[in-house]
Structure 1
Amino acid sequence: MYNYDETTAFLGHWGLFQQIVFFLLCASTIPNGSGVLSIVFVADIPSHHCMIPEVNVTQDWLNVIIPIKVVNGKQELSRCSRYRLDVVRNLSAQGLIPGRDVNLTDLEQEGCVHGWSYSRDIYQSTIVSEFDLVCSEQWKQPFTSTLYFLGVLVGSFFSGQLSDRYGRKPVFFATMACQTIFTFAQVFSPTWTVFSILLFFSGLGQIGNYISAFVLGTEILTGNVRVLFSSLGVCLCFAMGYMMLPLMAYFLTDWKSLLLAIALSGLLYIPLWWFIPESPRWLLSQGRVEEAEAIIRNAAKKNKVEAPQIIFQNYSRGEKKTPSTKEERHSVFDLIRSSNIRATTLILCMVWFTIVIGYYGLSLNSSQLSADPYISCFISAAVEVPGYISSWLALQYFPRRPSTSCAMLLGGVSLFFIQLVPENLPELSVALEMLGKYGFTTSASMIFAYTAELYPTVLRNTATGTCATFSRVGSCIVPFLFQLRVYFKYLPYIILGTLGVVSAFAILFLPESFGRPLPETIQQMHKRERVKCPCITRKGTPEPVVILESQL
């Protein structure tokens, strides 16, 4: 079996061809950063109370017609009730003064039968004010995010398999178009139901675009450039889009304008079709040797190097496939067919689940950091930058297994300590929460690269998509996670911390991939170091196997 990295070594690692692929694929993730967490602003709940129609009552009664309630130790206007208008009208007509002649606690209350009045101090409108997702309909607000992540879940599952079957490039652009078109269509949603359906398909396209771009770059680029791309390039561009989100939301305070700006940015990436090639690794795995060689020769021309007369020696060319020679198809079932691959897949699924629920849980909870949601969102986004830089350095110089485990452990333990912080030190709680976000962000960046390095080309996108699918189960329950604080204030942090610590130890059971070439076949993956307890060294395990594998 050929070694792709050695066969294409004549191209170099950082020629014009690699630079084009690197920067264009990285840039394609900027709309993902803006779009995936735009729900923080699009579905935020502005201050509101019952609307009071024009009614003939005195100013004294108008000032108190909305009851005062205590929420989290603070007094605020009731959001879902008011004193009955007919009763207030009669008392006002009698000349009675509220609080002096009438005890307000004895008055009967009613719901917001005339609708709600929403504050415009921060937003001109959100989908909450547009579709009245408050009071009895308030469950729809977190459920909106859940529907988005359900779309991400479905997209994670199908995009990986479609990409392994039909190619990285077609799925990459198809899902990018899906993300752009359905985000644009949301602007014209007449009801919450229509908005949610369109949001579901937008999420489906978003994750498919990201995973396809990630795998495409991982397979085209080689050496340290591949590590730089997978750990720092795409992640920093995602963070860049994330940091641009609060800036866009600050100037576009209407939810429709914000979504329109995010959708239109996707149109800028249409010309990328003529600059981003298909993955030669994938073409070779499908037996399409001539197409793979054409891409490599074009790359050599751009890099101004001379390509060999025959690049891929070990492939027969020009032969029509018969049923007996037809390329073997692989599916998600190959991920659980053998014990070694099955153990790796199950551990990775659990780790991905923990990372996603931790990352999105802390991201969606960013409104708790300060009274200004724009500043809160920017802080949450900015803390990802050192996380991605740390992951790049770790992937560059340290083994995957201990570095990923340590990052996960840092995230989990930091959240555990929040419950020990005194009430008079809220800044320390915020710092620990952001340290937890840093740990989950760092491990998230590394686990993408780690997963891609463990699986062979014929299963790489399917494996990445399957792990992402399982992880999105966590993202679907994230919108409701921090509502558990009504039972115990620190319960969400305890749950996230426990998951982080358990996953940190589970990572130690994975094979190591540091310094080894990407496997091309399932047989090469089988030759990798088997999943075993890191505390136990089996006698008789031949070390030369690992050395020989690294030289394939």
Structure 2
Amino acid sequence: MKDYEESIAFLGQWGCFQFVIFFVLCASIMPNGFGAFTLVFLTDVPPHHCTVPEANLTEEWQKEQSRCSRYRLDVVLDLWAKGFEPCVDGWTYSKDIYHSTLVTEFDLVCHDEWKQPLTASVFYAGVTVGSLFSGELSDKFGRKPILFATMAVQTIFTFIQVFANSWILFTVLLFFNGLGQMSNFVAALVLGAEILTGHARVMYSSVATNSAFALGYMLLPLFAYFLRDWRGLTLGLSLPGLLYVPMWWLIPESPRWLLFQGKVKEAEAIIRKAARWNKIPKEKDKAKKNYSVIDLFKTSTIRITTLNLFLIW
């Protein structure tokens, strides 16, 4: 709408309403920062070697620590007949950095090493699918419902991942988690750009949204430092989503979208709410004031205009 900004110019560019929208929407973007790069820690590969069961082995055998194979124990007595076999007893992983990762939990090494990059590919496939459809859905159902739906998808599926007992289940849940990932960012970006005006919109769309994403990205290593178990880290990254529930009552729908849908009364209610938050006098209060002929002479500007009109007539 071409005249939308002129119509709401009386609200100003910065007020209580704009500040709340600005910072609350930025806060909603932060989970995208740590959600997009969580797999860096979840799928990290710690040092590991084949597990060798307790046995009366020589020192040479004890020192032999290969990642994907080991000496066959059935020929241990014949040093000249050494053969190799896969890690049939599993792997021993270093816990110097991580207590556990997806790799150590589901043994994503050696013949299953291909599952590590596939995990990230599935996640970003979900991100792509979500990005393709979230725009059309927000045009149909509104910016606000899609924003909170994508935040809910991120939070719920991240939480459910904590209880995944197989790599396949975790990856399936990860795909659905990805559906809300970038879609949340785009929905918040569009909603803020449509509500804010002037310099506030420029600053929000350029600096603020990217800074909020970067802040979330910076918080991820802090979470990972204190939560060295992959389930604990996943849980820790899902719980902040509960903090966004009260935002439903703070973030309004886009007045532009409402007007485009013909919902004029709903858009007007939001503008009136913004006016109250910004402490702008109501038009009704101004209309109640009674004027008299004396008001034509109260100020110098009006007095000169009145006398000029008298003279002209």
* 1:61 Cα deviation from its structure 2 partner: 2.4
Q: Which amino acid aligns with 2:142?
A: G
**Secondary structure of the equivalent of 2:100?**
coil
Shift of 1:214: 0.8
Q: 1:84 is matched with which residue: 39, 60, 72?
A: 72
1:312-391 alignment to 2 at 5 Å?
none
Whether 1:51 aligns to 2:56 is: no
Match of 2:305 in 1: none
**Given the alignment of the two structures, is residue 162 of structure 1 paired with residue 137 of structure 2, yes or no?**
yes
* Aligned residue in 2 for 1:268: 243
Alpha-carbon distance, 1:307 to partner: 5.6
Q: Once the 2 structures are TM-superposed, how far is the Cα of residue 107 of structure 1 from its aligned partner? A: 3.2
Residue matched to 2:9: 9
Residue 216 (structure 1) aligned with residue 204 (structure 2): no
Rounded Cα–Cα distance in structure 1 between residues aligned with 2:260 and 2:209: 25
- Please state how far the C-alpha of 1:2 moved relative to its aligned partner: 4.2
Does the 8 Å contact 1:126/1:255 carry over to 2? yes
Select which of 191, 199, 202 maps to 2:166.
191
CA positional deviation for 1:188: 0.2
User: Aligned runs of 1:475-514 on 2, under 5 Å?
Assistant: none
Aligned to 1:28, what secondary structure does the other structure show? helix
Q: Which amino acid aligns with 1:262?
A: L
Give 2:259's match in structure 1, choosing from 272, 284, 292: 284
Q: 1:319-367: CA deviations, max 9, x gaps?
A: xxxxxxxxxxxxxxxxxxxxxxxxxxxxxxxxxxxxxxxxxxxxxxxxx
The match for 1:119 is 94
Query: Percent of pairs identical after alignment?
Result: 60
Letter in 1 for 2:185: Y
Question: Gapped runs of 5+ residues in structure 1?
Answer: 67-77, 97-101, 310-552
User: How big is the shift at 1:306?
Assistant: 3.6
Shift of 1:167: 0.1
Q: Which residue of 2 aligns with 1:142?
A: 117
Q: Distance in 2 between matches of 1:203 and 1:136?
A: 27
Q: Deviations over 1:403-456 (max 9, x none)?
A: xxxxxxxxxxxxxxxxxxxxxxxxxxxxxxxxxxxxxxxxxxxxxxxxxxxxxx
User: Distance between the aligned counterparts of 1:56 and 1:307, measured in 2?
Assistant: 90
Structure 2: stretches of 5+ with no match in the other structure: 285-313
Partner of 1:498: none
Q: 1:233 aligns with which of 188, 208, 227?
A: 208
Between the aligned partners of 1:277 and 1:256, the Cα distance in structure 2 is: 35
Larger radius of gyration: 2
Query: d(CA) in 2 for partners of 1:296 and 1:284?
Result: 12
Aligned to 2:40: 40
Pairwise CA distance, 1:308: 5.6
How many residue pairs get matched? 284
**CA displacement, residues 99-149 of structure 1 (integer Å, 9 cap, x when unaligned):** xxx5xxx73211111111111111110001100111111110010001110
Q: How many Å separate the matches in 2 of 1:3 and 1:118?
A: 64
- Alpha-carbon distance between aligned partners in 1 of 2:200 and 2:2, rounded to the nearest angstrom: 21
Higher relative contact order (CA 8 A, sep 6+): 2
TM-score, scaled to structure 1: 0.50
For the pair 1:201 / 2:204, whether they are aligned, the reply is no
TM-score by length of 2: 0.88
Aligned to 1:132: 107
CA distance in 1, matches of 2:163, 2:254: 37
Give secondary structure in 1 for the equivalent of 2:49: strand
Partner of 2:290: none
Q: Secondary structure at the match of 1:113?
A: coil
**Retained in 1: the 8 A contact 2:162–2:235?**
yes
- Which aligned pairs between 1:433-452 and structure 2 lie closer than 5 A? none
2:274 paired with 1:299: yes
SS in 2 for 1:253: coil
Question: Displacement of 1:275 after TM fit?
Answer: 0.5
